Amino acid sequence: MKTKLFLFLLVIPFTLSFGQLKHYVADKSGSFIKYKLTHPLHEIEAVSKDAYCAIDADVKAKLIKDVMVQVPVSSFDSGNSNRDSHAMEVVEELYYPDARFISSSVTQKGDSLQIWGNLTFHGITKQIYIPAYANWTNNTLTVTGKFDISLTEFKIKRPSLLLIPVNDDLKFWFTQNFNI
């Protein structure tokens, strides 16, 4: 009898801890992903407010367990339609319409996040690291972060202006808001 009670008491915390994990989707109205591309003569920034971002989180423990993001590359807007059209040619948007990130591990120390996962962009999948920050308030979670990728690692030919190519690093930063 004591053995059964012990096993029952041992199983309850595991069952409860798994039951607290919930799936949340970011509110697009308050979320964005931006990129910056640098050329020696100027910088280009473009923003997308059309990313689908989802997390699995334990709200009581204030822990994020998994992250998934998918964004149509055509949704990035630099404010110049000619430049955006050329960018879509460069990333071959007709063949690779979306960029997708799926986490493989999320480590959290306080509100700091270390997110590792696979980024698929331009038909290439690479493991990347994203440092981020989680801000938990009343009924909202805001996740912010920055990361860089190499255009050549994703087999993207760097565009040129006056025969000078843009820098190889493409910088991203993001804010994703979740209603908890």
Mean residue pLDDT of the chain comes to 91
pLDDT digits (tens, 9 = 90+) for 8-30: 444 445 444 455 899 999 999 99
Domain spans, the chain: 21-179
Evaluate whether 72 touches 50 at the Cβ level (below 8 Å): yes
Predicted pLDDT of residue 161: 80
Nearest to 134 by CA among 99, 106, 162, 170: 106
Q: Is 152 helix (H, G, I), strand (E, B) or coil?
A: helix
pLDDT digits (tens, 9 = 90+) for 34-61: 999 998 888 999 999 999 999 999 999 9
Contacts of 83 (CB under 8 A, 6+ apart): 44
Contacts of 91 (CB under 8 A, 6+ apart): 73, 121, 122, 156
What is the rounded (10 degree) CA torsion for 125, 127, 129, 133? 60
Residues written for the chain: 180
Predicted pLDDT of residue 85: 94
Nearest to 119 by CA among 51, 36, 59: 51
pLDDT digits (tens, 9 = 90+) for 116-167: 999 999 999 999 999 999 999 989 999 999 999 999 999 999 888 888 888 9
- Cα–Cα distance measured from residue 102 to residue 70, given in angstroms and rounded to the nearest whole number: 9
- Cα–Cα distance measured from residue 163 to residue 111, given in angstroms and rounded to the nearest whole number: 44
- The CATH code of domain 21-179 reads 2.40.128.110
Tokens of 121: 């962009």
